[in-house]
Structure 1
Amino acid sequence: MNNSFDSTYIIRKERFDEFLADIEGLALTAYTVPAFTALELYLLIDMNRDIAVRVVWKPETTVKEIKGLDAKWFLEEY
């Protein structure tokens, strides 16, 4: 875990399984984060339709791979 880092994504609840499939192979783990634990998440999230997911990346995952995922989930899908 010392050689990894994490990212937080806000995604639609109904797309959670699809998101997990997209990060498979790139991440060590992913887990939901209660939005009320962080003010910035609480202000960004629609509690009725969205969830916050923290992704812990594998050390060998490249920035290019993460940017590809970001492009899909931030620019195309969400």
Structure 2
Amino acid sequence: MDHRDQLMDTLKTLLRDVLKARFDGAAYAKLARAHGYADGYMRALLDAGLVDQKQLLDLVGSERRRFVDEAPAATVAASRAA
């Protein structure tokens, strides 16, 4: 795995943290902190010229779709375990 892939994996993790906090109904402070980390990381990637805006938009969109697609499966699995 090259350095750029590691950076993108880190961003995906930050985005999942934001989505999880949002859909779990987390406290405002936790949600704001998660947003701040993700936004700052994306700004650093843009400023360093490692990605462009289209790449970020594509990545955010795909992570949102993945999160929404996986959420029902996780809910079903949790209800079966209970």
TM-score band, normalised by shorter chain: 0.3 to 0.5
Q: Normalization by structure 1: what TM-score? A: 0.34
Q: Normalization by structure 2: what TM-score? A: 0.33
Kindly name which structure, 1 or 2, has the bigger radius of gyration based on alpha carbons.
Answer: 2
Normalized per residue, the structure richer in strand is: 1
Normalized per residue, the structure richer in helix is: 2
Tell me which of the two structures has the higher relative contact order, counting C-alpha pairs closer than 8 angstroms and 6 or more residues apart.
1
